[in-house]
């Protein structure tokens, strides 16, 4: 038996929760489904030791509930995972949204049939919804590289993005594969718990301290008084972080001044500020970027006492990935129980009792942790069968790489929207989600308004389906072309990371992110709204 609703929201993390709230505000009948046993999304699954947001606490939250914004407590400059999950749970309770959320439930398929979406859930239930909004998270499909011998290991094996309820590392020998933002947080934390910790590192990263610390009552008062300015800055700057960005070219100042500026950010944090707040061209000029990378290389040499470890930890190339930021990473390798090995030049294989390098060295391990990241942005979508108009599958539509107009919607998938989809800006995510959810909700409101009008005009009481909205192929292609063009102008083009799909073996490489800055992205979104959604087809 099909159950009829106005809208289905898939996922109950930052995106799904706000989308549910907004559609309820429109007066629609909405159901949200969430695979996990709790709300939280990314912040439910990523609960490895040390998991922390690396965005300042004051902007790692929603801005739409002003009262909550000013009163909900936090105490540190960056939020630990449990606090973020707790915050999202609080928002759900505060706005009485629990009744619309079905936990432990996945959407298995969605098929656009007879002008609405037929949706099948893992529980066996089937729904019909006029609108389908997927809020699956950009970093939710864990990536497990096929390292030789993977299945032979007899010890414990975990992925950071799917962490177990219980674990105990005391007195254990732990191998960590991966040293991105996740691996770095994990290594710093586990080094204090494990008997021995070895980082099996392929490419070293540039890790900048984050300047974490307590937020005092005075700090909070100042933040509260400045919130309007803080959000305005987010909406108009490049990074979307609570930092002052620089427009000064790195080479326009003396070497001493460059050193002073880099040092000041190194002392106060963080990695995003190091990229955008030191000099205005670190993300676009190879020369400026090299200056930043050289500074970090000098820091590593100075901090890490063992010259072999220091050499292994030093990245030879550019500072051209999503910045990694955490306190005390390089210092961690001065501990006797912590080591790092280079698995790019001495490739590894997993053996029953640990990891063996190509030079014959064997590391006996009790635990291997995969901090190997995600099949980012579109990874989760390949697990669901989504069929749009004329039998067009999302797999086909994304055969040459995932794409969505303004990261929110695709041609031939009418009345379907994705939150935080491909080609959105690389930025602080919660406020971006608000922009996208507001945009999506605005489009739905337009369709609903016309439906109301049709219903009024209908004399014979026929059920009216209302307006169907679909982005044009031209608009989608145009946005993709712009994204690729801008991405190619940045240092990230050579970064070989999840931003371009380069981290996953066999994945099509293209910019999954719009690198033109969140301010410019917001302008394009606003222009679309102001012009009455000219990039959309409408039909009944």
Which residues here bind ligand NA7, judged by CB under 6 A? 139, 145, 147, 177-183, 202-203, 322, 343, 371-373, 498, 503
Q: In terms of CB distance, is 320 or 411 closer to ligand NA7?
A: 320
Q: In terms of CB distance, is 147 or 223 closer to ligand NA7?
A: 147
Give me the sign of the Cα torsion angle 152, 153, 156, 159: negative
To the nearest whole angstrom, how small is the minimum distance from the Cβ of residue 180 to ligand NA7?
A: 2
To the nearest whole angstrom, how small is the minimum distance from the Cβ of residue 204 to ligand NA7?
A: 8
* Paired tokens of 480: 């993709």
Which residues, in sequence order, are bridge partners of residue 102?
Answer: 33
Residue 49: name the closest of 198, 160, 180 by CA. Answer: 160
Residue 513: name the closest of 248, 240, 324, 249 by CA. Answer: 240
Half-sphere exposure of 344 (CA within 13 A, CB side): 10
Say if residues 250 and 285 touch (Cβ distance below 8 Å). Answer: yes
The CB-based long-range contact list for 36-39 (8 Å cut-off, 24+ gap) reads: 36/12, 36/103, 36/104, 37/103, 37/104, 38/85, 38/89, 38/103, 39/12, 39/13, 39/85, 39/88, 39/89, 39/92, 39/101, 39/103
Residue 182: name the closest of 310, 47, 296 by CA. Answer: 47
To the nearest whole angstrom, how small is the minimum distance from the Cβ of residue 446 to ligand NA7?
A: 33
To the nearest whole angstrom, how small is the minimum distance from the Cβ of residue 324 to ligand NA7?
A: 7
To the nearest whole angstrom, how small is the minimum distance from the Cβ of residue 470 to ligand NA7?
A: 31
Q: In terms of CB distance, is 180 or 517 closer to ligand NA7?
A: 180
Residue 86 backbone zone (phi > 0: left; psi -120 to 50: alpha; other: beta) = alpha
Residue reference for tokens 């820091």: 299
Classified as helix, coil or strand, 111 is strand
To the nearest whole angstrom, how small is the minimum distance from the Cβ of residue 201 to ligand NA7?
A: 7
Q: In terms of CB distance, is 8 or 313 closer to ligand NA7?
A: 313
SS3 string, 345-371, reads CCCEEEECCEEEECCCCEEECCEEEEC
SS3 string, 217-262, reads HHHHHHHHHCHHHHHHHHHHCCCCCCCCCCCCCHHHCCHHHHHHHH
Q: In terms of CB distance, is 370 or 405 closer to ligand NA7?
A: 370
Q: In terms of CB distance, is 46 or 411 closer to ligand NA7?
A: 46
* Paired tokens of 521: 């992205």
To the nearest whole angstrom, how small is the minimum distance from the Cβ of residue 233 to ligand NA7?
A: 20
To the nearest whole angstrom, how small is the minimum distance from the Cβ of residue 505 to ligand NA7?
A: 8
Q: In terms of CB distance, is 176 or 447 closer to ligand NA7?
A: 176
End-to-end Cα distance, the chain: 26
Strand 354-357 versus strand 424-425 pairing type = unpaired
Q: In terms of CB distance, is 52 or 441 closer to ligand NA7?
A: 52
To the nearest whole angstrom, how small is the minimum distance from the Cβ of residue 434 to ligand NA7?
A: 18
Q: In terms of CB distance, is 131 or 276 closer to ligand NA7?
A: 276
Q: In terms of CB distance, is 5 or 191 closer to ligand NA7?
A: 191
Q: In terms of CB distance, is 54 or 366 closer to ligand NA7?
A: 54
To the nearest whole angstrom, how small is the minimum distance from the Cβ of residue 379 to ligand NA7?
A: 11
To the nearest whole angstrom, how small is the minimum distance from the Cβ of residue 440 to ligand NA7?
A: 23
Residue 412 backbone zone (phi > 0: left; psi -120 to 50: alpha; other: beta) = left
CA separation for the pair 200, 355 (Å, rounded): 9
Q: In terms of CB distance, is 343 or 432 closer to ligand NA7?
A: 343
Eight-class DSSP state of 476: H
To the nearest whole angstrom, how small is the minimum distance from the Cβ of residue 142 to ligand NA7?
A: 9
CA separation for the pair 32, 102 (Å, rounded): 6
Classified as helix, coil or strand, 130 is strand
Q: In terms of CB distance, is 223 or 324 closer to ligand NA7?
A: 324
Beta-carbon contacts of residue 200 (< 8 Å; ≥ 6 apart): 175, 176, 177, 341, 343, 348, 355
To the nearest whole angstrom, how small is the minimum distance from the Cβ of residue 444 to ligand NA7?
A: 29
């Amino acid at each position: 038996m099909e159950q009829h609703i106005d809208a289905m929201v898939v996922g109950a993390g930052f995106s799904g929760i706000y989308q549910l709230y907004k559609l309820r505000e429109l007066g629609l009948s909405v159901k949200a489904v969430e695979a996990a046993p709790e709300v939280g999304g990314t912040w439910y699954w990523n609960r490895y030791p040390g998991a922390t947001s690396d965005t300042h606490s004051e902007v790692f939250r929603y801005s739409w509930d002003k009262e909550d914004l000013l009163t909900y407590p936090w105490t540190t400059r960056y939020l630990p995972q449990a606090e973020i999950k707790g915050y999202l749970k609080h928002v759900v309770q505060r706005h009485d949204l629990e009744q619309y959320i079905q936990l432990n439930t996945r959407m298995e398929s969605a098929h656009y049939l007879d002008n609405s979406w037929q949706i099948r859930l893992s529980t066996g239930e089937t729904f019909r919804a006029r609108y389908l909004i997927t809020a699956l998270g950009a970093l939710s499909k864990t990536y497990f590289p096929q390292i030789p011998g993977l299945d032979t290991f007899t010890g414990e094996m975990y992925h950071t993005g799917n962490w177990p309820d219980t674990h105990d590392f005391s007195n254990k020998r732990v191998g960590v594969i991966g040293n991105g933002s996740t691996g770095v947080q994990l290594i710093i934390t586990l080094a204090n718990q494990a008997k021995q910790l070895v980082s099996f590192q392929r490419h070293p990263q540039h890790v900048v301290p984050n300047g974490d610390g307590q937020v005092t009552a005075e700090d909070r008062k100042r933040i509260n008084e400045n919130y309007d300015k803080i959000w305005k800055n987010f909406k108009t700057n490049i990074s979307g972080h609570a930092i002052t960005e620089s427009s000064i070219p790195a080479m326009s100042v003396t070497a001493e001044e460059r050193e002073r500026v880099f040092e000041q950010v190194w002392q106060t944090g963080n990695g995003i500020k190091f990229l955008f707040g030191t000099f205005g061209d670190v993300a676009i000029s190879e020369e400026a970027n090299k200056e930043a990378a050289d500074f970090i290389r000098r820091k590593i040499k100075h901090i890490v006492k063992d010259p072999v470890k220091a050499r292994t930890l030093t990245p030879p190339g550019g500072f051209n990935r999503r910045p990694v930021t955490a306190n005390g990473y390089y210092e961690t390798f001065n501990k006797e129980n912590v080591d790092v090995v280079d698995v790019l030049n001495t490739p590894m294989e997993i053996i029953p009792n640990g990891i063996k390098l190509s030079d014959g060295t064997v590391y006996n391990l009790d635990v291997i942790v995969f901090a190997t990241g995600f099949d980012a942005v579109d990874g989760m979508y390949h697990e669901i069968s989504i069929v749009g108009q004329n039998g067009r599958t999302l797999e086909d539509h994304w055969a040459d790489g995932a794409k969505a107009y303004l990261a929110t919607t695709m041609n031939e998938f009418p009345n379907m929207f994705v939150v935080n989809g491909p080609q959105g800006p690389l930025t602080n995510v919660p406020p971006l989600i608000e922009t996208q959810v507001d945009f999506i909700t605005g489009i739905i409101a337009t369709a609903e308004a016309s439906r109301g009008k049709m219903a009024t005009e209908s004399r014979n009481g026929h059920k009216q389906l209302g307006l169907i909205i679909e982005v044009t192929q031209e608009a989608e292609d145009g946005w993709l072309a712009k994204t690729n063009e801008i991405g190619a102008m940045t240092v990230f083009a050579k970064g070989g990371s999840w931003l371009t799909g380069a981290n996953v073996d066999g994945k099509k490489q293209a910019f999954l992110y719009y690198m033109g800055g969140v301010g410019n992205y917001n302008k394009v979104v606003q222009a679309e709204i102001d012009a009455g959604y000219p990039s959309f087809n409408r039909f009944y």
